[in-house]
Amino acid sequence: MADITRINGEIEHARRLVARSRQNIHALNRADVATADAELVLSRQLAHLETLIGERNRLQQAETTPTRRRVLGGRSW
């Protein structure tokens, strides 16, 4: 559980960084400045975010046990 909470914290931090980078790129676009380097950094941040989300999903899948899905009051045959 501690790993999932740590990864969730890292995901939130990465999302804030991505949002800040997007704002910076938007400001550079308004100032007519080249944004190729900033977009490269943004793509690396997004790739890192995707790996963190994948790791969190993997940990959540390993933590939960598969349960039998039944309708309440359903038939037992």
Cβ atoms 58, 3 nearer than 8 A: no
Q: What are phi and psi of 29, to 5 degrees?
A: -65, -40
Angle at 72 between CA 66 and CA 73, to 5 degrees: 135
pLDDT in tens, the chain (77 residues): 679 999 999 999 999 999 999 999 999 999 999 999 999 999 999 999 999 999 999 999 888 766 666 667 666 66
Angle at 22 between CA 16 and CA 23, to 5 degrees: 90
Dihedral, CA atoms, 28, 30, 34, 37, nearest 10 degrees?
30
Domain ranges in the chain are 2-61
Provide the whole-model pTM: 0.77
Token pair for residue 60?
A: 């959540």
User: What pLDDT score was predicted for residue 7?
Assistant: 96
